Structure 1
Amino acid sequence: MPRAVWLLIIGMFINVTGNSFLWPLHTIYMHDYLGQSLTMAGFVLMINAGTGVVGNLLGGYLFDRIGGYKSIMFGTILSVFALILLTIWHDWPEYIWIVAILGFSGGIVFPSMYAMVGSVWPEGGRRAFNAIYLAQNVGVAIGPAIAGLVAAQNINYIFTANLITYIIFFIIAAVFYKNLAKTPNVHANASKEKDVKNQKAPFYAMMIVTFGYLLTWIVYVQWTTTISTHVLELGITLKQYSLLWTINGLLIVLAQPLIKPIITRLEHKIKAQLIIGIVIFMGSFVVVAFAESYAMFITSMVILTIGEMFVWPAVPTLADQLAPKGREGFYQGIVNSMATVGRMIGPLIGGMLVQSYGTQMMIFILTSLMFFAIATSLLYDIPLKKSQMNNSK
């Protein structure tokens, strides 16, 4: 891989490691330490994700207009500022507003990172996005494990730890990212607007596939919200729960040689990758619905991890393939914003369903959404086929 990709990998790893100190513990912190209900905790996470949607779209837009370096720096500086505030004030209701800022600032950074890796290594294809995905998950493996140890001493220390990692990421971005990719020519982009407007089919295809992506995230996010509290209610410790995410991250890295032959055969069959991954997702949640022991939760997490190894890198890869030139950032912004919308409404929906019907029924209801995600994966290319037929006439 090019040196530029390695720099982005390192930056993404540090960024996600810091974020992983917080996101698995948000619901637990609000519910067990701040005394808020699951519904209220879900509402706060919805606000966090809602500001993240705005940040995702803005980050993609800024990448196309001012370049990846400036957009990443803007988001990172804002994140450092918010984390300084969170380190000082993490009581109620200050927690709500600061977490909202973090959603917005983090949302700016991620689509820019994905769009940048596609621009610095265009011939890498799925390999480029898989590299960033792996970096994320190494961070996910390490972050929660450290967070569990830190929280066992004092949960308030996780805010300081997150701040330190973001300062390190800021230094790396400031020093190394400036010359990774050239700043887009605004006038050139403006001259392409007519061409972009005529390319509606890729946009429609993107919206169809990312709608299914949204549904998978609504279900997936239950692991960090309703399922996390359910795990603790069964007598499993916070440290053991955090270890589940360590297993998730490590398996994503260690199992790469096992799934590589399958991915290689399906390299140009994104649709097959999506469907296989979603079906595996469904199997994971069937297991967790009946889980009563820690071993069963480990089993479910292993199955979940295999599924996401197919789905998560495939969607940004498809976005890069579909994006008209000069709109790569915008398309990555759509991908990230749809995932963020799933994280936004998932906790609230899950919390309400748990309170009304219980955890098991909540899992069955939400898992049924996966059938619609399979349908969108099968049908997303219909607009592209219609466009090709019209052009051939």
Structure 2
Amino acid sequence: MARQPIYSSKRSLFRRINEWLHLWLGLFSGIVVFVVCLTACFWVFRYEVWYFTESYQRVPAQNRPFLAPSVLLQKAGAFVRQTEGKTVTFTGITYGSPHKSAFVLYKPSKEKIHQVFLNPYTGAIIHHKKGPSTAESFFIFVRAGHRFFWLPPKIGSPIVGTGCLIFVITLITGLIWWYPKKWTKTTRAKSFTLKWRANWKRVNLDLHNVLGFYAFLVVLALTISGIVYSFRWFDSAYHWLLTGRPQTHPNGHHDDHPFSDTTRTARLYDKPEDQLWHRIRREHPGAPGRLSISFPKAAKDPYEVAINPEEGTIYKTYERFFDQYTLKELPSEESRRYEELSAGEKLYRMNFDIHVGQILGLPTRILAFFVSLIGASLPVTGFLIWWFRGRKSITSSQTPRRQAIAFTSRTAN
């Protein structure tokens, strides 16, 4: 059975090149795009899944202040000594919103991180987490597919990034292919509506063309914002394009944070974590979104305080650094608040929240879910269009005479 060409020779050279690129680049990157988009569908709702499956992260909100860090650290330390028979050094403490539990972290070994969850109002121990939960393990698996195609990161990240770059080209060439030469009533119907009562090949074609058009802008935004995490050169170029200046910390590596004054040998304050806690709370009255205090590990390290005024997004998060001996605040580029940034810097800071669809909360997460689902369907529907191009199905209800006539007609043509 002869197959007809997928593009017409009567089209212009530009159109033929565009269609050739769309076809073969789409076939080449299809499996990567399918996996990346499908895993994105799951990743979008990770917060909701964790909320319902990890009850230890929630506490009833109370009309009283949280306990100071030193109190929670003391209670967590006593609990660990009792359960594990040893004293541990905590590396940080995190507070959430009024209905979230607080937790402290320590490292029993170089590779492991344990967490003790506490009620921030009473100090009661809620949960001792020694590894990822079932839901967390699932999303770790999902993220490994989304970011690295389940390969070692140094191999998988370039593969995913390259697949997404090719996907951007196929989206643009697909839009050009979709655009009709002349707008008529018929072309408008074909371009914007799904003809559900047609045969399956026509429905499949509409799913590819029509849904692809409606999802185009959002899929393009999600894809470009994701390529940032695969290639440093793309991240740097993207940052320069938005802000007009080079990055201070390429790919988010903040290895050059300010250092404490190591000429000092003694700390001037008792319970420095409490001093920082009260200072931050005075400067940020009201309910915090998330507040984390990371403790110094070496003599040169400062206290690092990450402040997020909102819950559910991270683009307003900023970090402040304090000398571990004097608690003097140390200047840093990362201490700039969202409100102090230029328009381009704000957009760059929003990149992760845009990419995962959480920029405006649940509505944009739902949008990202359906758009990612459409993105995952495009390689499938596109492959079916290519594979069955020129084929005409013969139903079993046809008589032998009709089958023979149909076969003769096709071969004659």
TM range (shorter): under 0.3
TM-score (norm 2): 0.23
Question: Could you say which structure has the higher helix fraction?
Answer: 1
Higher Rg of the two aligned structures: 2
- Quick one: higher RCO (CA 8 Å, sep 6+), 1 or 2? 1
TM-score, reference length from structure 1: 0.23
